[in-house]
Structure formats: C-alpha cells, structure tokens
Amino acid sequence: MSETESAPPQDQFKDFELPAPLLQAIDDLGFEYCTPIQSAVLPYSLADYDVTGQAQTGTGKTAAFLVTMLTHIWEQPKAITSTGSPRALVLAPTRELALQIEADANDLAKHLGTNAQCVVGGMDIQKQLDRLERGPVDVLIGTPGRLIDLINRRHINLRSVEILVIDEADRMLDMGFIPDVRRLVYQTPHKRERQTLFFSATFNDDVMRLASSWTLDPEHVVIAPESVATDTVAQEFWLVSSMSKASLLAKFLGTSAPERALIFTNRRDQAHRLISYLNKRDIHCEALAGDIPQRKRLATLTRFKEGRIPYVVATDVAGRGIHVDGISHVVNFDLPEDPEDYVHRIGRTGRAGAEGTSISFVSEDDAFNLPAIEEYLGHSVECIQPDL
C-alpha cells in the first residue's frame, strides 16, 4: 500500500479535466478550489486507482468520490435497461448521511442527466421501491440493512457495480454493520473488476484489515485530524460550573446571536432538557436525538438547513449525518468522552473553506476529558473565563 502526503488546497477543479456539465454544476455551487482530501484523492481516483482515505467529516471527501463516480459514468456511457442495477454504489452508516450524499450527488449531477437514488431504513419502503421502478439508477446510496432487504426481495442487484464507495468505515465497525457490509461487498463484482474507494476517520487494525480485504493496491491518503480541527475553526474553551452551563448558553445565544449554531450534548435526556430550558427563554431551537422519530428528525434538519431554525441541539449519533453549510458556531455543551468525537463535532463548522468557531464548556463534571482531546490534537488548549 503506497502512501501520499495531502496537497495544500490550491488545486482547482478545472485542473482535472472534468466533464463540462460537471464543472458547470461545481461552479453553480460556488466551488473553485479543492480541499486537501480532494486534491490528494482525485488524481488517483480519476485514473481508476483504488483509494483508502483517512479524513474526518467536513473535509470534502463526499465531493471527491461523487466527482469520481459522475466523471466515470459520463466518460464511459452504458445503456442500462434494468431497474435496481446501479453502476456505482455508496454504503453509508446512517440515514442522515446517506440522504445528504444523495442531495450532494443530485446537485453535482444536475447538468449530467445522471440518476442518483437513496434507500435507507426507517422510511417508507414502498416510496423507495416506486422511485427505483421509475427507471435505471446510475448511483445508488444506501444504508446496509435496507440494501440487504431490497436485495433479498430481488428489487436490487449489485452485479453491475463499477465503483464501490464505503464511507465512514470506522463508524460502520462501531455500529456493528460490518457483517452486512461484507455481504453487500460480496454481491458486487470482484475487487479486480471494480474500483473501490474506502474512507474512514481512523485506521486501526480492524479498519486496515477491512481496507485490505476490499481494495486492490490502493493509494492511501491521510488528512491529519489536527489540520481538520484547526485550519478553519477558531477553538475556544470556556470554564464554567455545571450548574451554570445552561444559563451561560442561553446568555450567549441571546446576546451574541450566532447566525447558525449546532449544540452538542453527550446524552439524549440532556438534549431534551436543554431544549426545554432554551425554549422557555424564547430561544428557538429543536433537538436531533436518536429517540426522535426519523420523519421528525429529517423535518428538523430541513428547517435548520433552510435557516428557519437557528439552533439545533444534537447528540453524537444523530449529529453524524448533519452536513449543513453555513454553521457559524459549534457549541460543546458537554465535552465528548471520545476525542475523535470532538473533531467530528467541530468539523460541522468551518466547512468548504469557510471560517467557523467552536466553543467548548469545561466544567468540573467533564474536565477530565480535556487531556485526551489535547493529546489527540497534538497541543495544549487554553481555558478562559467567558466574557459575557
């Protein structure tokens, strides 16, 4: 397995000789320069190499693999006559992430005539079947359980997959999805007969074994977590007592009025209590937590994207699928127990080259989580008394 250093974000998409309709869509979205992961991945993925990429959420890896897929399909047109037989497949661990990838795919493919569809659990299966039956699907995005269900019902077959993307492999592993993912990979052509793009925020021994099993002589790209965390996000750590965290947050939101803020708690019950506290003080916000019905979570996420809700309180599990441009602030109401979650959280702001701010409350209850975060970032942090 070879390894390449990530390039600085100075490459332009037009440098890669992408299809003109794809470049038009990229221009419509306001993108010109590649992020580091895009600069590092695209020279290899567009040349049909397998790639394993280590990068956090918010680095632009979704666009990297979608641009690769859409370019391949455009440059190698094939007449697809059967429904449910995609040329490209993306496996994602959560519904929210899969739906966001579908939205990004449709944004990029709007001038190409390429059809991208998403199938996920927790939503009306008949509606998904109706969409699949309307015509051939070029790019299929899905969560493992729903994909296996549709394969067992003979609505989907993966024998024609030319490009396979496995996204957030470490999260798949944590959530126990690997047996299902393995079944799906075996439904696709042999790795010598397909291109595989494999992404993970971390590459421990278990993830490395999966990557080795499913890819063929891949180019390995690493985007350092500390670069993701610090390049475009100003990080602040506020000393606060546990009893005054909610009032401090309410004061910050009321006086500073950030344009769009995502607030993280460690538990679902904390999220609900915080929502109740803020709403009683006329601060408009909603919750994204695992115990909220999927339809309500998606409605909340849509309102947040459209700016109708300025603030959302989320847990890590529900927050994994939040890919919203324009988040100005991330607030860690609780310090996460896992330092990797810290980087995932603050990666929700400072996206696509924009600047963002993260504010982490450090109380007597969770200050012991701070050393692990400092070690993960590779530097110490300064805790300050908030000036509010």
User: Quick one: pLDDT band at residue 227, thresholds 50, 70, 90?
Assistant: low
* Structural Rg of the chain based on CA atoms: 21
User: How does pLDDT run across 76-100, given as a tens digit for each residue?
Assistant: 988 776 788 999 999 999 888 898 8
User: How does pLDDT run across 123-167, given as a tens digit for each residue?
Assistant: 888 998 988 888 889 999 999 999 999 999 999 999 999 999 999
Q: Are 147 and 120 in contact (CB under 8 A)?
A: no
Pairing of strands 329-332, 261-264: parallel
Q: Is 110 exposed, middle or buried (0-12, 13-18, 19+ CB in 10 A)?
A: middle
Among residues of the chain, what percentage have pLDDT more than 70? 91
pLDDT of residue 197: 97
Q: What is the C-alpha to C-alpha distance for residues 163 and 188, in angstroms, rounded to an integer?
A: 9
- Per-residue pLDDT, averaged over 175-204, amounts to 93
Q: What is the C-alpha to C-alpha distance for residues 42 and 187, in angstroms, rounded to an integer?
A: 26
What is 2-45 written as a DSSP string? EEEEPPPTT-BGGGG---HHHHHHHHHTT--BPPHHHHHHHHHH
User: Which residue in this structure is represented by tokens 């999220």?
Assistant: 271
What phi and psi, each to the nearest 5 degrees, are found at residue 163?
-130, 125
Asked whether residue 6 carries a pLDDT value surpassing 50, the answer given is: no
- Per-residue pLDDT, averaged over 235-245, amounts to 94
pLDDT of residue 178: 93
Q: Are 257 and 284 in contact (CB under 8 A)?
A: no
Say which residues have a Cβ less than 8 Å from residue 91's Cβ, sequence separation at least 6: 142, 143, 144, 147, 164, 165, 166, 167, 172, 181, 184
Bridge partners of residue 4, in order along the sequence: 221
Q: What is the C-alpha to C-alpha distance for residues 80 and 62, in angstroms, rounded to an integer?
A: 25
pLDDT of residue 67: 97
Q: Residue 200, SS3?
A: strand
pLDDT of residue 360: 96
Q: HSE of 336 in the Cβ direction (CA atoms, 13 Å)?
A: 23
For the chain, the straight-line distance linking the first and the last C-alpha, in angstroms and rounded, comes to 52
Amino acid at site 159: R
> Domains of the chain: which residue ranges?
2-223, 227-384
CATH class held by domain 227-384: alpha beta
Q: What is the C-alpha to C-alpha distance for residues 221 and 40, in angstroms, rounded to an integer?
A: 7
| pTM of the entire predicted model | 0.68
User: Quick one: pLDDT band at residue 229, thresholds 50, 70, 90?
Assistant: low
Q: What is the C-alpha to C-alpha distance for residues 189 and 66, in angstroms, rounded to an integer?
A: 20
User: Does 3.40.50.300 match the CATH number of domain 2-223?
Assistant: yes
Asked whether residue 31 carries a pLDDT value surpassing 80, the answer given is: yes
Query: Over the chain, what is the mean pLDDT?
Result: 88
Bridge partners of residue 257, in order along the sequence: none
User: How does pLDDT run across 291-349, given as a tens digit for each residue?
Assistant: 777 778 888 888 998 889 999 999 877 666 567 778 899 999 999 988 878 888 888 88
Q: What is the C-alpha to C-alpha distance for residues 180 and 20, in angstroms, rounded to an integer?
A: 37
